[in-house]
Every structure is written in C-alpha cells, then in structure tokens.
C-alpha cells in the first residue's frame, strides 16, 4: 500500500541527498571449542545508502538525549537498514526510527553523533 510513497521518498533523497557509506561492525567471533576469539577478526560490512541531513526537531530533542553537534539524517529505505552503532562517513548511528505508516518502511530517521 505504501510502496509508491517509499519509491517517491527514495527518489527525493537521492535527488537532494548524497551517497554515504554505512559501515556495520561485525564484532569478534569465537571458536566454539576453545572459546577464544578467532583471528583475524572479520572485516566490518560496508554498504552504500542515500541520505540527506535535516534539522533536529523538538520532538527528537524530547525523545532522545541530543548533544551539541548531533545531526539527523533521513536514509532511503530501499537498501540496507541502518542499525545502532553503525557508522556513516564519520558519524555514529545513535538511534534509528523507521518511518512506517503501515507494513512498509518509507524512510529511516537516524540520530547521528560525530565520531
């Protein structure tokens, strides 16, 4: 039902935003027999997302612990879903709020903090 809205949002974010590299840390993996970390540790995964930075609204200030210098980015929901602790071009994802009026996620609103 909201697929058309998701497509329109992705098109607008692509038009007015820029491509960003989203890096997801993989964390250590452990040998199930010894319990020791496997070396070398797996490389973090990278994916490209389209994002546009927007102002922080009062609703976000009331909802999250906003600090000076924080930012909000709208990320198109046509690819990788941002997660807490991902990084995006020098910013750490503090929180993610999917905007989904129904079953379809239209965009992701991401609270970012400069690293």
Maximal CA-CA distance, the chain: 51
> Which tens digit of pLDDT belongs to each residue from 12-61?
999 999 999 999 988 777 778 887 877 776 788 999 999 999 988 777 77
Mean pLDDT of 102-114: 94
> Which tens digit of pLDDT belongs to each residue from 52-66?
999 887 777 777 788
CA–CA distances in Å: residue 67 to residues 2, 3, 82, 94: 33, 34, 20, 11
> Which tens digit of pLDDT belongs to each residue from 63-87?
778 888 899 999 999 989 999 999 9
Query: Which residues have a Cβ under 8 Å from the Cβ of 48 and sit 6 or more positions away?
Result: 19, 20, 21, 22, 79
Top-tier CATH class for 3-114: mainly beta
Give the count of beta carbons closer than 10 Å to the beta carbon of residue 2.
16
Give the count of beta carbons closer than 10 Å to the beta carbon of residue 18.
12
Q: Kindly report the average pLDDT of the chain as a whole number.
A: 89
Provide the CB-side half-sphere exposure for 24 (13 A, CA). Answer: 11
Domain spans of the chain?
Answer: 3-114
């Amino acid at each position: 039902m909201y697929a058309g809205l998701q497509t329109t949002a992705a098109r607008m974010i692509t038009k007015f935003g820029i491509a960003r590299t989203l890096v997801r840390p993989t964390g250590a993996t452990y040998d199930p027999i010894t319990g020791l970390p496997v070396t070398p540790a797996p490389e973090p995964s990278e994916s490209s997302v389209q994002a546009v930075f927007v102002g922080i609204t009062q609703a976000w200030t009331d909802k999250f612990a906003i600090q000076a210098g924080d930012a909000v980015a709208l990320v198109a929901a046509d690819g990788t879903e941002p997660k807490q602790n991902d990084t995006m071009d020098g910013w750490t994802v503090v929180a993610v709020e999917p905007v989904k009026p129904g079953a379809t996620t239209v965009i992701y609103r991401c609270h970012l903090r400069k690293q």
